[in-house]
Amino acid sequence: MRGFQRKNILTVMILLAVTMAMPGLSVRLQAAENAAAAEDQGTVSPPVEELSGYKEISKTFALNDQDSFGSISVDLSDTSFIKDGEEGRLEEEFDASRKEARQAVRSEKDMESFLEEKDPETLYHVEADDEGKLEITAPYQTRRLIVSSILEGDTYGASRVYYNTDDHETILEFDSQEQTKRAYEQVCRQLGDSACFVDEIYYVEDLLQEEPGTQVPAAPCLSWGNRYMQMNQLKSKAAAGGYGGKVTVAVIDSGICRTNPLFSGGRVLDKGWNFVSGSPDISDYKGHGSHVAGIICDATPANVRILVLKVTDIRGRASLYAVKNALRYAIRQKVQVINMSMGVTGEQAAGLTYLNDAIREARNKKIPICAAAGNDGVDVKYSYPANQKIPITVTAINADGTRGSSTEGKVKAIYANYGNTIDFSAPGTSIISAGRGGDFYYMTGTSMAAPHVTAAIAYLKLLKPDISVKDVENQLKSMSRDFGPKGKDKYFGWGCPIMGNLFATGIKKTSPEKTGPGQVSISGLFNKKKGVRISWKLSGKADGFKIYRSTSGGKFKKIAKVRSGKRSYMDTKTLQGRKYTYKIKAYKGKTDGTQSQGQTMIRQAGVSKFKIKRISAAEVTLSWKKNKKVSGYEILCSSSKSAANGTLIRVTGNNRKTISGLLSPYCFLQIRTYRTSGGKTYYSAWSGMKRIRMR
């Protein structure tokens, strides 16, 4: 489990070792001797730290950098910009002259040159949008990558390496953004684009209106939206009707202000957590999360409780890794429904999938997730995770039951996103609820629409706690007031659920859910001594797995069938240098699931007959049996068994290597083969570590 950053730094390391071990010794001759031998060498990554428990993980990856940002939108006609909701000017932000700033906004290329000159340590990405603005992001600010497998080989020059044992993933942290970018590109070349994610910073604050609520309507429901959906009727009847079971709703948002009366009476659970700072402080400085949670509490009786999971900081910034950890935590807490009135918007959202496994796990465990569609008035494909089919995506309507103003009899959208993944619509305009400082505020947005549907689902869970997500969708569909074209459409989905008759009619008879096998994804392929080991992750349930293999681009053939408890398989029938592509699918009874995406490995057998001979107190010669179909060999040389300060030496063309300048009492050595093909590098397993006494 060691990885390397291929840089020519062996000489520097030897100088440091000499300085520490023998301060009085001149190192000029030693440096000259080792400079020639330093080609293609790098440092070994530090020891791996294993992490488990989503609270503990959040403590390790707290978002503390106050200079980081989500996005900057620059007006091409001026030098003004909006940075995470705050206005500014280029010349002030980057300490530039007015002339420099005006030259920067002429084009993407000019802006990139300007940013590179003013802030060379940050890697900016500049893109012009359709509105005549430049969108600026800095994707590598956290200097962190998440790899969706446990890396057992190269860790790509990371300065810190963590294993998230709960999710079977590797987190790599680097000392610079440039190193992060290079490592990301290398991981994608070797493992595929879907195997690695940059832990980017996003700005998720998305409100269209915020006004103090000077006149608070009378109970039982303050929001006109809750009255429109007739949840005020249910709230009055719930206690009298004996619906006293407890339902927990997770609100993934900006936190909560507990002092608002909507949250009195123990409505907010003590198990909430701040996944941004890694602390129990769930205070809401933006008011957004309080407003969302308040809508749910306003609509439901006191036995519907809120689990607050804070994922944004005081400026409305979040990372997808924090959101994913919050989702997983909610699932482990066995909540009944999750509200996500937040998301990533813009072009970058169209290609995101990072949260999908967690959302799918929730769905498989009968936990619906309501996602806000977004407020840009564009196709919902530019809002993640609302653009996925897995969550229940909610758009907004006005008080008159429209999405906006009516022009010539046609509904014209004003702010709510639309598209094929819209499932339902709910009130979102001028909604009164809790806000900052314990006060009441009116807010507008699809963020307000989603918790109305979340509250409706909470009532379904009161009646039938084990109702599946599919049956939740069908029940809401049967109770929805249809708008627009008959049936589901891209503006309203199935319409707005009207819940007033729920206690009278009950939940429609549902058939036992026939869930097929879960979805499998390959988490890693590894060359081992006996063959190629395939490991995978399962989202859902299965009786077992079928493993398929293609050899050198040929047809896929089933090579194994393993029981459900296993998550890895060793393919021992492999040949040195041969290319193999693997796919896996789960099965349940006689039903097969969907095959995973294929992953490829070139078989690299380990080195045999590895021998070491000491030539002098500072020099050894290594030899080994030459392997066929390899690009070369990598030797790991260190002064301790942990290899914490080791170096990597590449050898090509022969099976012997002399290493000089060894200054420690002992030398520890390992060797492996590698093969480069199609821009990717494949490694064998490391040999056993050998120790030789030098003096």
Structure tokens at 152: 């057992």
pLDDT value of residue 402: 53
Active site residues: 253, 288, 447
Over range 661-672, report the average pLDDT.
88
How far apart, in Å, do the first and last CA atoms of the chain sit?
A: 29
**Residue 34 pLDDT exceeds 50:** no
Query: Which of 136, 167, 182 is the last residue before a domain boundary?
Result: 136
Answer yes or no: is 233 within a domain: yes
- Residues 594, 619, single domain; the answer is no
Residues 22 and 100 in one domain: no
Cα 122 to Cα 136: distance, rounded to the nearest angstrom: 12
Q: Do 13 and 123 belong together in one domain?
A: no
As a whole number of angstroms, the distance between CA 391 and CA 395 comes to 13
Q: Is 50 a domain residue?
A: no
pLDDT value of residue 236: 84
What's the pTM value of the predicted model, to 2 decimals? 0.73
Same domain, 548 and 619: no
> Where residue 75 falls among pLDDT bands split at 50, 70, 90?
confident
pLDDT over 70 (residue 684): yes
Q: Which pLDDT does position 594 carry in this prediction?
A: 86
Regarding whether 85 and 39 lie in a shared domain, the answer is: no
Please tell me whether residues 461 and 534 are part of one structural domain: no
DSSP structure class, residue 227:
H
Q: Residues 596, 611: one domain? A: no
Same domain, residue pair 634 and 597 = no
- Tell the burial category of 525 from Cβ atoms under 10 Å away from its Cβ (0-12, 13-18, 19+): buried
Helix (H) or strand (E) holding 309, with range, is strand 304-310
Q: Do 137 and 70 meet the contact criterion of CB atoms below 8 Å apart? A: yes
Domain shared by 330 and 357, yes or no: yes
pLDDT digits (tens, 9 = 90+) for 185-230: 888 877 777 788 899 888 875 555 567 766 666 667 888 999 999 9
Query: What is the layout of strands, in order, in the sheet containing 80-83?
Result: 86-89, 80-83, 72-75, 133-137, 125-128
Tell me the two tokens of residue 343.
Answer: 């998301």
pLDDT at position 4 is 32
For residue 184, tell me if it sits in a domain: no
Residue 549 binned pLDDT confidence (cut-offs 50, 70, 90): very high
How far is the C-alpha of 247 from the C-alpha of 409, rounded, in Å?
42
Amino acid 506 reads: G
Strands (E), 420-515: 422-427, 431-434, 440-444, 480-481, 496-497
Beta carbons of 622 and 671 less than 8 angstroms apart = yes
Domain holding 494, by residue range, is 209-251+287-505
CA 492 to chain CA centroid, Å, is: 29
State the burial class of residue 49 (Cβ atoms within 10 Å of its Cβ: 0-12, 13-18, 19+). Answer: exposed
pLDDT in tens, 231-246: 999 998 886 777 778 9
Does 332 share its domain with 477? Answer: yes
Last-in-domain residue among 574, 602, 630: 602
Question: How many domains is the chain built from?
Answer: 4
Q: Does a structural domain hold residue 292?
A: yes
DSSP 461: H
Residue 653 is assigned to a structural domain of this protein: yes
Question: Mean pLDDT, to the nearest integer, of 340-362?
Answer: 85
Q: Which residue has the higher pLDDT, 450 or 39?
A: 450
pLDDT digits (tens, 9 = 90+) for 407-465: 322 333 488 899 999 999 999 888 999 988 889 999 988 999 999 999 999 999 999 99
Question: Is 307 in contact with 269 (CB distance < 8 Å)?
Answer: yes
The answer to the question of residue 277 being in a domain is no
Q: What is the CATH number of the domain that holds 666?
A: 2.60.40.10
20 shares its domain with 83? no
Tell me: do 681 and 583 sit in the same domain.
no
The verdict on residue 247 lying in a domain is yes
Q: Which residue, 602, 636, 665, sits at the end of a domain?
A: 602
In the chain, the amino acid numbered 296 is I
pLDDT tens digit string along 606-643?
A: 899 999 999 998 899 999 999 999 999 999 888 877 66
Q: Is residue 633 part of a domain?
A: yes
For 33, the enclosing helix (H) or strand (E) is: helix 28-35
**Backbone torsions φ then ψ of 523, nearest 5 degrees:** -95, -15
Q: What is the 3-state secondary structure (H, E, C) of 631-685?
A: CEEEEEEECCCCCCCCEEEEECCCCEEEECCCCCCEEEEEEEEEEEECCEEEECC
Domain CATH code at residue 350: 3.40.50.200
